[in-house]
Amino acid sequence: AAVAEEPITPPVQIDHTQLLINGEFVDSASGKTFPTYDPRTGEVIAQVAEGHAEDINRAVSAARKAFDEGPWPKMTAYERSRILLRFADLVEKHSNEIAALETWNNGKPYEQAAMAELPMLVRLFHYYAGWADKIHGLTCPADGPYHVQTLHEPIGVAGQIIPWNFPLLMFAWKVGPALACGNTIVLKTAEQTPLTALYVAKLFHEAGLPPGVLNIVSGFGPTAGAALASHMDVDKLAFTGSTDTGKIVLELAAKSNLKPVTLELGGKSPFIICEDADIDNAVELAHFALFFNQGQCCCAGSRTFVHERIYDEFLEKAKARAMKRVVGDPFKKGVEQGPQIDSEQFEKVLRYIRSGIESNATLECGGGRLGSKGFYIQPTVFSNVQDDMLIAQDEIFGPVQSILKFNDIGDVIKRANATRYGLAAGVFTSNLDTANTISRALKAGTVWVNCFDVFDAAIPFGGYKMSGIGREKGIYSLNNYLQVKAVVTPLKNP
Ligand code: ADP
């Protein structure tokens, strides 16, 4: 792997570090701030207003007022749709600066932020703008002289809590459907990555979004996040993050006002490579499935199951591919992997690597820090990984590939499903029957066949088991943000 070099100056300046409440950038009530960092160096890049319960209260009041008194839910659906479209166009116009800010605060390669994350955000808002004026209820036949109709109404004030691994995409998955359905929002960003959501929220107001419809509170989980999850005047909660925190917010929601909760949580996704697979393609895809975004993907293909007949060749090629991976300053052209997000994640990944070595998995390459500053980790491959090892069970969230051997389809299906998670899975085979058998048997919210990490605004995403509750994106996300009201009227002359 290439060694990290001197950091390049990011081509963007930081304009917004305050909370966004009722259409205005304001300090937190306490006046407190917290530092946000550049993962390339660990240096502070800005001080950001730190929201607490009092700020969440202010933001919820603004969202409540914008919902109850309008203009947002009272605007025509077409007008709301136009604002979403204008916002997407403004993001597209500024996408180079926004991608630079994302890379600066998160460490992901600039080319990936600019060429994947930004276009996906734009596409998603175009997609949900299309839904805004196509949401309607039904008329229902009933036994009796009644006229029965259902109204699909926005649910109210949505509280949304997002993580740091895809700050903008998570913003889009949450905000797009909620606004399309006519809700108002209080969004809490991850404490590691507060900057890009503030930047794009400013553009939303330029696009004509009325004040109070989208409020953004930066801050920490146990303070700002918990205040949002337990707020009595928040009507719906959507959360993406770890399974442990998902349990906490679900409990806070239940103990407060029973707001419905959607959760998108962790994973330990299997990637199954059958004996008839094209090995070179499988190697490349399995590499991408795990190492993409520094391994910081909830759906990362983190258990690579390889059929014993092709195991040796696959292993040799997977190792060679990992050793060729270009790691370095994420602003540099051609860099495939930047630093991990922060020292906590960096230390956690290194602990898992040590655990792999101690449990006698074979370290094929990598295994340590890269360079001497920032949070860079060498692309790491373990072979001879057994199901009961910690590295095969826990979500590592880093550039560590675990390769396991199998010899029977029925057996590998059982092993793939023997996890508390069920977010995603990959199957690699040239046999249609094998693809069908495996994809139907896997307990996972997404199964990618001969591909991986294919995301689209229209494709639903979410988890079985402890990977979550509910689905985001596509038509499925709309239900999360709508109430159904049945209106029943007697018919005088049926
Ligand atoms: P990670 O371990 O990937 O940082 P977390 O689940 O801790 O994942 O964080 C995801 C989001 O949840 C972040 O915005 C974080 O601030 C928030 N969060 C963390 N703890 C809590 C909590 N106790 N209540 C509400 N939100 C929380």
The band of 74, judged by pLDDT with boundaries at 50, 70 and 90, is confident
236-287 pLDDT, tens digit per residue, is 999 999 999 999 999 999 999 999 999 999 999 999 999 999 999 999 999 9
**How far is the centre of ligand 1, averaged over its atoms, from the C-alpha of 161 (Å)?**
8
**CA pair distance 445, 426, nearest whole angstrom:** 11
Mean pLDDT of the chain: 97
69 is catalytic: no
Nearest CA to ligand 1 atom 18: 221
**How far is the centre of ligand 1, averaged over its atoms, from the C-alpha of 470 (Å)?**
18
Q: Is the CB of 462 under 6 A from ligand 1?
A: no
159-198 pLDDT, tens digit per residue, is 999 999 999 999 999 999 999 999 999 999 999 999 999 9
Residue 70 reports pLDDT greater than 90:
no
| pLDDT score recorded for residue 332 | 95
Q: Which helix (H) or strand (E) holds 477?
A: helix 476-480
User: From the alpha carbon of 165, which atom of ligand 1 is closest?
Assistant: 3
| pLDDT score recorded for residue 1 | 64
CA 458, 184, 469, 402 dihedral sign is positive
Nearest CA to ligand 1 atom 9: 241
Q: Is the CB of 266 under 6 A from ligand 1?
A: no
264 is catalytic: yes
- Rounded mean pLDDT, 420-441: 98
Q: Is the CB of 229 under 6 A from ligand 1?
A: yes
Q: What ipTM does the predicted assembly reach? A: 0.99
The band of 137, judged by pLDDT with boundaries at 50, 70 and 90, is very high
Amino acid at site 47: Q
292-322 pLDDT, tens digit per residue, is 999 999 999 999 999 999 999 999 999 999 9
| pLDDT score recorded for residue 360 | 98
**CA pair distance 346, 81, nearest whole angstrom:** 41
Active-site hit among 274, 297, 298, 365? 298
Residue 3 reports pLDDT greater than 80:
no
| pLDDT score recorded for residue 112 | 97
CA 441, 271, 383, 350 dihedral sign is negative
Global confidence as pTM: 0.98
**How far is the centre of ligand 1, averaged over its atoms, from the C-alpha of 243 (Å)?**
10
